[in-house]
Amino acid sequence: MKKIKTTPLAPQEFEVEQISDNEANIMAYPFETGYAISLAHPLRRFLLSSSVGYAPIGIKIEGAKHEFDSVRGMLEDISDFILNLKEIRFKLNNDATEAEINYSFTGPCTITGADLTNDEVEVVTPEAPLATLNEDSNLNFTIKIAQGIGYVPSEDTVEELEDSYIALDAYFTPVRSATYKIENVLVEDNPNFERVVMNIRTDGQISPIDAFRNSLEVMYAQLAVFNSEISIKAPSTIERVEESPDLKKLTTNIDSLGLSARSFNCLDRSNIKLIGEIVLMSTNDLKNVKNLGKKSYDEIVEKIQEFGFTVGADLADDVVTALKKKIEDAQSA
């Protein structure tokens, strides 16, 4: 008969697979059926729309009045120059939110993102091309860089710029892609639980983990409005871990270990009922159990390891608290 639940299982496992500096897989499980996508989809939306990044919002080029102009001795016209500039990703230093950066170049040279790095700004796409200058060319320009989220068209930034600037469409989002997949995961012979695997790739302005953390903060902030209007009782620590797979194993009777009669009797006479009691013991405490010999000790340690634990394991505080309550209930029964 299928067990009737009053609360959904809360996921306990969280893993991070670092693929590169700018890409990572973030995994969480086990979720009840349908819960994984319910959380993954809005998180993806927040990752793509709410991650804070930097982008040029305006440029002032000496000798050029508009984006269809040209500069003597520069291979690219201004429109191509601007397109190249939008592919270069900046990161302001010292936690600055806005800066005006002046640059001056003399040809012949090929200017790339690496040439734009200085004390005020770091370029995280150093190989991106910007312009090519002939030997008799001089290029002087100023970029205004700002911090923001999402996409802001040039029409919305023009009011913040001096008349000499060419306003730029600004694409602030540092997250290049955010995808997820839902996999089935087995929990106590039930294959219908789910694991969410989120793949996050950034442009280098921010790490995938920081981007994920920021999206969670935004998501919590959006949901906080409901807390102000509706009183929600937060579950206690014990309630949150009640459905934990680890806790269920730890509160299993020592009968399940399949111990020899001698080893079982030593534990039973010491009123040790649950597997978790052994896990909470230190190795010395276990060795000092009355009449427990070395052979029995080794057998118990081996059986505990087969269950996925070790004697004296460092368990999470909330699991220890819930486990101790279960042990008290078992001993008083």
Q: Does residue 218 share a domain with residue 122? A: no
DSSP H or E stretch at residue 241: helix 237-241
Whether 281 is covered by a domain: the verdict is yes
Q: Does residue 164 share a domain with residue 108? A: yes
CA distance 319 to 83: 55
Q: Does residue 315 share a domain with residue 266? A: yes
Whether 7 is covered by a domain: the verdict is no
State the pLDDT at residue 178.
95
Which residue range forms the structural domain that includes residue 88? 53-171
- Of the candidates 232, 248, 276, which is a domain's last residue? 232
State the sign of the Cα–Cα–Cα–Cα dihedral 306, 307, 309, 310. Answer: negative
Whether 6 is covered by a domain: the verdict is no
Q: At 68, list the tokens.
A: 């269809």
Residue ranges of the chain whose pLDDT lies below 70: 1-3, 227-245, 317-318, 333
DSSP H or E stretch at residue 177: strand 175-187
Q: What's the one-letter identity of residue 134?
A: N
Q: Does residue 33 share a domain with residue 75? A: no
Whether 69 is covered by a domain: the verdict is yes
Q: Does residue 152 share a domain with residue 78? A: yes
Q: Does residue 328 share a domain with residue 265? A: yes
Whether 3 is covered by a domain: the verdict is no
Q: At 78, list the tokens.
A: 């201004």
Query: What string of DSSP letters covers 7-40?
Result: SPPPP-EEEEEEEETTEEEEEEEEEPTTHHHHHH
Whether 8 is covered by a domain: the verdict is no
Give 18's strand partners.
24
- Percent of the chain whose pLDDT exceeds 70: 92
Q: Does residue 133 share a domain with residue 71? A: yes
Q: Does residue 163 share a domain with residue 150? A: yes
Residues 6+ apart with CB under 8 A from 223: none
Whether 5 is covered by a domain: the verdict is no
* CATH number of the domain that residue 289 is part of: 1.10.150.20
State the pLDDT at residue 265.
87
Q: Does residue 198 share a domain with residue 136? A: no
pTM for this one? 0.65
- Give the chain's domain count: 3
Whether 87 is covered by a domain: the verdict is yes
Q: Does residue 161 share a domain with residue 71? A: yes
* CATH number of the domain that residue 187 is part of: 3.30.1360.10
Q: Does residue 136 share a domain with residue 47? A: no
- Of the candidates 232, 254, 271, which is a domain's last residue? 232
Q: Which tens digits make up the pLDDT trace of 154-175?
A: 888 877 788 889 999 999 999 9
Q: Which tens digits make up the pLDDT trace of 210-239?
A: 999 999 889 888 887 776 656 555 454 444
Residues 6+ apart with CB under 8 A from 39: 31, 196
Q: What's the one-letter identity of residue 85?
A: L
DSSP H or E stretch at residue 52: strand 52-61
**Phi first, then psi: what are they for 301, rounded to 5°?**
-60, -45
Yes or no: say if 65 and 171 are a contact pair by the CB < 8 Å rule: no
Q: Does residue 158 share a domain with residue 139? A: yes
CA distance 318 to 241: 7
